Amino acid sequence: MPPSTEPEHASCTHGPVTSELCVRLATLLNDFNPAHYDKDFAQSVGLPGVIGPGTLLQGWVAADVADRLSETGRDGRERLAGIDLRFTSPVLVGERIDIDYAWTDRVAEVVITASSGTTEGGRTVATGTVRVEAVKR
């Protein structure tokens, strides 16, 4: 893709985050932080309830990038080079996740928001960048 000055915008929606999803991911990663599955523990450390692991958001970003490369016919020529996210607020069970991308060449600025079915809009839970690179042959 040739460099451009205007970013190409894309959005993806995931979720809602479920307790089962948090437990499955914890099992897969062998990361049994009780804040990701035990409501009483989460509340005892000042969280509003069970929170989704950051790796869940990273996984959704990676899947979105893979889909983008496939849809644009670049999946054999480019690959995910890095995800750099800064988490600003916990993701709660029951929330829907919206990920907005602003792509310029091989870099995207990322803003991730979370919202429940009862709220209008959402709150920012992470920001950062995603990079893809050419596959060396």
Q: What is the pLDDT of residues 24-68, one digit of tens each?
A: 998 999 988 999 989 999 999 999 999 999 999 999 999 999 898
Residue 119 has pLDDT above 60, yes or no: no
- Over pLDDT 90: what percentage of the chain? 69
Any residues with CB less than 8 A from the CB of 32 and at least 6 apart, and which?
Answer: 26
Structural domains for the chain: 8-134 (3.10.129.10)
Quote the Cα angle for 80-83-89, to 5°. Answer: 150
Greater pLDDT, 120 or 89 = 89
Q: What is the rounded CA–CA span in Å between residue 95 and residue 72? A: 30
Q: 0.85 exceeded by the pTM?
A: yes
Q: What angle do CA 95, 67, 129 make, to 5 degrees?
A: 65
Strand order in the sheet with 8-14: 8-14, 96-104, 107-115, 123-134, 78-87
